[in-house]
């Protein structure tokens, strides 16, 4: 017969040993439930994928795709893809929604701020409706100012050559600037239709335009500021030379 004292001692020890066991079970159940909760939220995510190519349809490595939750794209992006692979492919997972997207290849510097010489851009943002989708494939074509000039020359055989200089506020030749041309005096957030290449130390520029009425302006940053007004009005009916333009306002 087991003494009463030993029986009570055993009962207390068993109860004491069971408590940690039940505590572990409760912790495991809590962990499983907590881990399952994000899964339901992630079910609304969309995989955006595709390729970034140049104007010759060749894949571009090292580019990034930027997504914005509003059409105000002159700010840090809400989502940025990893850099594209050697085949130009990218992949990015984002919450379902509507986004404004651009692709950029930066030669140097951080992944934000104005573009520099040699950087390539896809132009006007694409509006992507990623609601009620699991996978969306979107390709981007990027170019720099030199590519844009060559591309615009190929769009039509009836383009006229506009030449002149870009001058600073003191009417001195300005390097690392370019000319903007558009049928609107305020293009806003859209990339203007026609651009020149960057100027050299002599400030000389060459711009190719079809016949018609255009507003011209200048800038030292790319893309040009959204509030930039193109103040010089010209009517193009043939080649033009000696059309000097003055960059107004502070240089950026």
Per-residue pLDDT of 34-69, as tens digits, reads 555 444 444 689 999 999 998 778 999 999 999 999
Choose the final residue of a domain: 92, 109, 141. 141
Identify the bridge partners of residue 207 per DSSP, sorted by sequence position: 162
Q: What is the mean pLDDT of residues 164-192?
A: 85
For residue 167, the model assigns a pLDDT of 94
pLDDT value of residue 245: 93
Q: How far is CA 85 from CA 54, 59, 140, 197, in A?
A: 14, 9, 14, 28
Q: Is the pLDDT of residue 7 over 90?
A: no
Instruction: Look at residues 141, 158, 179 and tell me which one is the last residue of a structural domain.
Output: 141
On the question of pLDDT at 15 being above 70, the answer is no
- Where helices occur in the chain by DSSP H, the ranges are 4-42, 145-155
Q: Is the pLDDT of residue 27 over 90?
A: no
Mean pLDDT in residue range 90-109? 90
101/67 same-domain check:
yes
Residue 116 lies in a domain: yes
Query: Do 93 and 157 lie in a common domain?
Result: no
Asked if the bond preceding 23 is cis, omega within 30° of 0, the reply is no
Asked, for residue 224, whether it belongs to a domain, the answer is yes
Domain endpoint, select from 100, 115, 141: 141
Size of the chain, expressed as the number of residues it contains: 252
23 assigned to some structural domain: no
Question: How far, rounded to the nearest angstrom, does the alpha carbon of residue 127 sit from its chain's CA centroid?
Answer: 12
CATH of the domain at 81: 2.60.40.1120
Q: What is the pLDDT of residue 69?
A: 94
> 223 and 176, same structural domain?
yes
Cα separation, 63 vs 72, whole angstroms: 21
Residue 166 — pLDDT band, cuts 50, 70, 90?
very high
Q: Is residue 181 part of a domain?
A: yes
Asked whether residue 10 is assigned to any structural domain, the reply reads: no
- The predicted model scores a pTM of 0.50
Same domain (yes/no): 117, 191: no
Residue 38, domain member (yes or no)? no
What is the model's pLDDT at position 213? 93
- Residue 41: its pLDDT value, please? 43
Q: Token pair for residue 88?
A: 């130009």
The angle at the Cα of 161, spanning 155 to 167, to the nearest 5 degrees, equals 120
Residue 106's pLDDT band (boundaries 50, 70, 90)? confident
136 and 50 in a common domain:
yes
In this structure, the answer to whether residues 166 and 120 fall within a common structural domain is no
- Residue 24 placed within a domain: no
Output 225 or 155, whichever has higher pLDDT: 225
175 and 86, same structural domain?
A: no
* pLDDT at position 4: 45
- Summarize the confidence of residues 14-18 as an average pLDDT: 50
Number of domains forming the structure of the chain: 2
Of the candidate ranges 19-33, 73-87, 140-154, 174-188, the one whose mean pLDDT is the lowest? 19-33
Identify the domain containing residue 158 by its residue range: 145-246
Sign for the CA dihedral angle at 109, 112, 117, 121 comes to positive
Examine the pLDDT at 242 and tell me if it is beyond 60: yes
| Domain of residue 181, CATH code | 2.60.40.10
Average pLDDT over every residue of 29-38 = 52
Lowest mean pLDDT among 42-56, 121-135, 146-160: 146-160
Residue 9 has pLDDT above 50, yes or no: no
pLDDT mean over 200-223: 87
């Amino acid at each position: 017969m087991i003494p009463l004292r030993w029986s009570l001692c055993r009962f207390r020890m068993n109860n004491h040993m069971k408590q940690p066991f039940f505590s572990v079970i409760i912790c495991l159940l809590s962990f499983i439930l907590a881990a399952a909760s994000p899964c339901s939220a992630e079910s609304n995510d969309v995989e955006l994928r595709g390729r970034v190519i140049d104007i010759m349809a060749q894949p571009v490595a090292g580019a990034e795709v930027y997504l914005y939750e509003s059409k105000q794209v002159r700010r840090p992006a809400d989502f940025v893809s990893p850099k594209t692979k050697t085949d130009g492919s990218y992949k990015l997972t984002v919450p379902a929604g509507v986004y404004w997207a651009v692709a950029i290849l930066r030669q140097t510097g951080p992944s934000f701020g104005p573009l520099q010489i040699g950087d390539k851009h896809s132009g006007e943002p694409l509006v992507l409706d990623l609601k009620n989708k699991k996978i969306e494939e979107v390709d981007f074509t990027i170019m720099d100012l030199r590519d844009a000039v060559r591309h615009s020359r190929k769009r039509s055989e009836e383009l006229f050559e506009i030449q002149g200089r870009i001058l600073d506020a003191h009417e001195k030749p300005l390097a690392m600037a370019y000319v903007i041309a558009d049928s609107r005096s305020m293009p806003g957030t859209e990339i203007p239709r026609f651009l020149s290449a960057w100027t050299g130390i002599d400030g000389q520029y060459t711009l190719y335009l079809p016949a018609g009425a255009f507003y011209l302006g200048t800038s030292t940053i790319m893309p040009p500021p959204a509030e930039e007004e193109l103040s010089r009005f010209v009517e193009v009916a043939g080649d033009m030379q000696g059309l000097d333009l003055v960059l107004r306002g502070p240089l950026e």
